[in-house]
Amino acid sequence: MAYQLRKRGHTYLYQVDYGEEAAVARIIVRSDTPGPEGLFLVKQDGSLEPADDLPGFGINRLAHDGLWPRPPREAIADARVIAEQKSCGRR
């Protein structure tokens, strides 16, 4: 599932992904300019944890603070469902 967000003249694409981590889902974010991808981990309660420090990911070069824009609500909701499903499978 992919979602788009426009911010300050740039387009960000958010891809909800199953991921390798236990009991969380991934939201991978890409900008419309070359550079690293961002990563958010979504827990079963819908909380987000930036994970740009994992290998293969990095800061947002378009933002002065390096932070990626928060994913759209719909992306978080989809990721939350995946995290809940992964959590149930561990029991």
pLDDT of residue 90: 57
The neighbour count for residue 26, using CB atoms within 10 Å, is 21
Per-residue model confidence (pLDDT) at position 30: 97
Neighbours of 51 (CB within 10 A): 16
In this prediction, residue 91 carries a pLDDT of 47
Domain ranges of the chain: 2-89
pLDDT value of residue 8:
87
φ/ψ region of 19 (left if φ > 0, alpha if ψ in -120 to 50, else beta) reads left
> What's the confidence (pLDDT) of residue 89?
63
Q: Tell me: the pLDDT tens digits for 26-77?
A: 999 999 999 999 999 999 999 999 999 999 999 999 999 999 999 999 999 9
